[in-house]
Amino acid sequence: MRLAAVYYDGRNAKAHPVTLCLEGDKLLLQGKEIVRRDAISALEIQPPLGSTPRVVLFADGARCEVADNRGFAELFPGADSRVAVLENSWRWSGLALLLVLALAGAGYLWGLPYAAQRLAQRIPAELAASLDREVLADLDGKVFQTSRLSPDRRRGLEARVAELVLPDPAGRPGAIEFRFSAELGPNAFALPGGTVVVLDALVELAEDDQEIVAVLLHEMGHVAGRHALRQMLQASAVGLAMAWYIGDFSNMLAAAPALMLEARYSRDFERDADRFAAEALQANAIPPGRLADMLLKLETARQRGLDAKLGAGSDYLSSHPTSEERIQRLRSQ
Amino acid sequence: MAQHQAQPLHFSGSGSEYFRLWIVNVCLSIATLGIYSAWAKVRRNQYFYRHTRLAGAGFDYHGDPKAILKGRLVAFALFAAYTAASSFAPTAAAFILILIVTLAPWLLVRSLRFRLHNTSYRGLRFAFRGRIGPAYLVFLLWPLLAGLSLGLLWPFAQQRMAAYTRNNSAYGGAEFRFSAGAGAYYGIYLMTLMLGVVLFAGLMVLTSVLGSNGWFAVEEGQLTAMSLLLAALGTYLGLLLFAYPYVTARLQNLVWGSTTLGGHRFVANLSAYQLLGLMLSNVVLVVLTLGLYKPFADIRLARYRIEHLQVLVEGSMDDFVAGLQAGASAAGDEMAEMFDFDIAL
Ligand SMILES: [Zn+2]
């Protein structure tokens, strides 16, 4: 059989209409001005690519294109690469789609948190602590002012925390920092390196030290699980992937889905931190319900609109709508 | 002046066909922990190049996936080292950043050479012959000065980059020439600025009129401040949305309109409005489909960009084809190929 083709000699741009046919293990190419015979083993027969013409490359830089894909496949039946078979079939590419969706889902649900957890464990404590110093230096003077609590009060609370029995010694905070913030209201945070920041308003809102200890134990649960570090790693991975994927000028749009994807992780972390706090509270003969009391107070403080910004930012304590569920779980313990 | 005959470029790729290629690429890239992505890039480029047709013939891509993999490994190593160091060891990060910045012009020249050498049309290869020395001026010094001048020199730096890349490119034995001066680049950015000013003034007038007629609640004496604020916000949003497609369209038109290949010329006529609509709808659809629309978006954008480009052929089509010959210095290109690697740009 003869196949119509277009031949370019690689030295000139002129297109030569030619015909192709097989002569044993040789390819015979015939045109008005050209005849060439090449051993098939010396040719580079490119795999099919969608509806584009089939391409044969010659060792001397010449090329030949065949628009008739079906005819070409009959002439060279073995030249279909496996990848091209996958690409050309809706069934296989559909399977690939399902596989990708499943892998992406699994990666997001299990892979990323697992990778972040393993990575967080490998990050040396000094490095993480230096990160905390940077974060604090960044916030001091802008969002945070020096604490207005008396030094005695602060030392007293620090001593109270130091003598707590913990279910996991990894929850012992690197340092407790007291700060005043007009904007953030009653709140406490665990920083990536294990520093716990307590805001004056939280100390003032609490009825007694047990409630403060309950909140601090919740934060120490975050420290034990290195939640802030993991959150940071996950957020950067998701943000990076989004920015890379959508690309172009839409980086700002990529931030929104990244934030949405983040919310779920923090919910899991809250649950872990609550569990840690409940265990520790029981170990220290404080009813876990005291944490629930405090959560309720924070919730009312928020709803009263004392602080509009409380729900935003890196607040791990009361930023989630699941507060009610958390309170119930703590009370039942 | 010789007669010029317009030859439009056509793009025959289709979204549904490319989707299958794309999803298989993604799947295999994931399954091989990213290694297949180099082969995927070759398949993708071949798909887009072969579907780009001019005067009855398609382009082709010949990149070696192993060279691309090498380049990606180097880029990944540098990037990973920088990211890891930047969170925990700022001094090391600064050192790596300096290393990346010093290497960048060299890497850019290498990958330009790789990309053009591996592009062909009608069996003839393109080539890039830019030297390393000027690349440091163009890709390092001018952008650095542009940054230091708070962007005032940026149009100039962009013009230097386009002139360097185009003037050192060749197709077969013919060389590309680039004639646009920095003035034209400043013109585009000034026009963008003007649009901003006009938009701001218009919004100012509109909000003042609406405000004084009680369309929105405003306190006595606060109307000017309120209008200023609203107009500034509107201008910011308008430019954020419109400036990128506007500058992209105008720049592409300028760059092609100032490029020649022997006696042949080029015309690009992209419209900023159409590009804006295209990009915006693409982004929205990609987000809504959790990314699955991406291959369709890529095809749409490629089609728009390619089909708004024409080659103005000098003389007849036959003369055009007959005049295209292979370049003399093929040996130099082979040397380049041996040491070359492509970096994702
Ligand atoms: Zn929490």
- Mean of pLDDT values over A283-307: 79
Q: What pLDDT, on a 0 to 100 scale, did the predictor assign at position B268?
A: 92
Compute and round to an integer the Cα radius of gyration of chain B.
24
Rounded percentage of chain B residues whose pLDDT exceeds 90: 28
The residues facing B171 across adjacent strands are B126, B174
Distance A298 CA to ligand 1 centre (A): 12
Q: How far apart are CA B279 and CA B273, in angstroms?
A: 10
Using the Cβ of A59 and the Cβ atoms of chain B, whether some distance falls under 8 Å is answered with: no
Residue B310 CA, distance from chain mean position: 18
* Mean pLDDT value of segment A18-30: 87
Q: Considering only CB atoms, which chain B residues are within 8 Å of A14? A: 122, 321-322
Chain B contact probe: residue of A86, A132, A229, A245 with most B CBs at under 10 A: A86
C-beta of residue A89 within 8 angstroms of C-beta of residue A75:
no
Per-residue pLDDT at A61 exceeds 70? yes
Instruction: Report yes or no: B264 at the A interface, CB cutoff 8 Å.
Output: no
Q: Do A100 and B23 touch (CB under 8 A)?
A: yes
The domain spans of chain A are 3-87, 90-122, 124-331
Q: Is the pLDDT of residue A103 over 80?
A: yes
Interval B87-136: pLDDT, tens: 667 788 888 888 888 888 888 888 888 888 889 998 888 888 888 899 99
Q: pLDDT per residue over B182-194, tens digit each?
A: 899 999 999 888 8
d(CA B219, CA A228): 45
Give all strands of the β-sheet with A195-199 in edge-to-edge order: A145-146, A175-180, A195-199, A188-190
**Which residues line ion ligand 1, judged by CB < 5 Å?**
A 270, 273, 316
Amino acid, single-letter form, for residue B132: I
Q: Is A129 on the interface with B (CB under 8 A)?
A: no
Helix (H, G, I), strand (E, B) or coil at B269: coil
Phi, psi of A304 (to 5 degrees): -65, -5
Using alpha carbons, list the distances in angstroms from residue A184 to A147, A175, A199, A202. 13, 20, 8, 10
- Residue with the larger pLDDT of the pair A11 and B328: A11
In tens, the pLDDT along B131-185 reads 889 999 998 899 899 889 888 898 999 999 999 999 999 888 788 999 988 899 9
Which B residues, 189 through 248, put their C-beta within 8 Å of a C-beta on chain A?
240, 244-245
Q: What mean pLDDT is reported for chain B?
A: 83
Q: How far is CA A166 from the centre of its chain?
A: 31
Position B322 pLDDT exceeds 70: no
Q: Output the six-digit token pair for B178.
A: 């680039």
CA nearest neighbour of B299 among A140, A68, A50:
A50
> What's the CA gap between A260 and A240, in Å, rounded?
15
Contact flag A15-B322 (C-beta cutoff 8 Å) = no
**Tokens matching residue B7:** 């030859």
| A13, A100, A131 member nearest B26 (Cβ) | A100
Contact B310, B9 (CB under 8 A): yes
Tell me the residue type at B17.
Answer: E
Region of A132 please: left (phi>0), alpha (psi -120 to 50) or beta.
alpha
Of B27, B47, B283, the CB nearest to A99: B27
Asked if A82 has any chain B CB less than 8 Å from its own CB, the reply is: no
**Nearest-10 Cα torsion for B194, B195, B201, B203:** -160
Give the DSSP H or E segment for B179. Answer: none
How much is the pTM? 0.76
Using the Cβ of A137 and the Cβ atoms of chain B, whether some distance falls under 8 Å is answered with no
Query: How many residue pairs from chains A and B have C-beta atoms closer than 8 A?
Result: 120
Tell me, yes or no, if B24 comes closer than 8 A to chain A by beta carbon. Answer: yes
Neighbours of B341 (CB within 10 A): 20
What mean pLDDT is predicted for residues A307-322? Answer: 43
Given a cut of 60, whether residue B236 has pLDDT beyond it is yes
User: In 3D, which of B199, B138, B190, B32 has the Cα closest to residue A83?
Assistant: B32
Give the per-residue pLDDT at B342.
52
Q: In this prediction, what percent of chain A has a pLDDT beyond 70?
A: 85
Residue A161: which residues within 8 A CB-CB, separation 6 or more?
Answer: A173, A176, A213, A216
Token pair 């959508």 is at which residue?
Answer: A246
| Chain A touched by B326 (CB under 8 Å) | yes
Does position A45 have pLDDT exceeding 70, yes or no?
Answer: yes
Sign for the CA dihedral angle at B221, B225, B230, B231 comes to positive
pLDDT at position A265: 55
Q: Say yes or no: B17 contacts chain A, CB-CB below 8 A.
A: yes
Is the Cβ pair B321, A14 closer than 8 Å? yes
**What tokens appear for B278 in the block?**
């295209």
Q: Work out the pLDDT band at B302, boundaries 50, 70, 90.
A: very high
CA of A147 to the centre of ligand 1 (A): 22
Nearest to B302 by CA among B6, B7, B5, B10: B10
**Out of B13, B287, B321, whose CB is closest to A257?**
B287
Q: What is the mean pLDDT of chain A?
A: 81
- CATH classification of A3-87 is 2.30.29, yes or no? yes
Q: What is the DSSP letter of B180?
A: -
Res A152: pLDDT: 92
Three-class secondary structure assignment of chain A: CCEEEEEECCCECCCEEEEEEEECCEEEEEECCCEEEEEHHHCEECCCCCCCCEEEECCCCCEEEECCHHHHHHHCHHHCCHHHHHHHCHHHHHHHHHHHHHHHHHHHHHHHHHHHHHHHHHCCHHHHHHHHHHHHHHHECCCEEECCCCHHHHHHHHHHHHCCCCCCHHHCCCEEEEEECCCCCCCEEECCCCEEEEEHHHHHHCCCHHHHHHHHHHHHHHHHCCHHHHHHHHHHHHHHHHHHHHCHHHHHHHHHHHHHHHHHHHHHHHHHHHHHHHHHHHHCCCCCHHHHHHHHHHHHHHHCCCCHHHHCCCCCCCCCCCHHHHHHHHHCC
Cα–Cα distance between A57 and B204 in angstroms, integer? 64
* Nearest CA among A17, A9, A12, A63 for reference residue B319: A12
Whether the per-residue pLDDT at A320 is higher than 60: the answer is no
Placement of tokens 């707590």 in the chain: A164
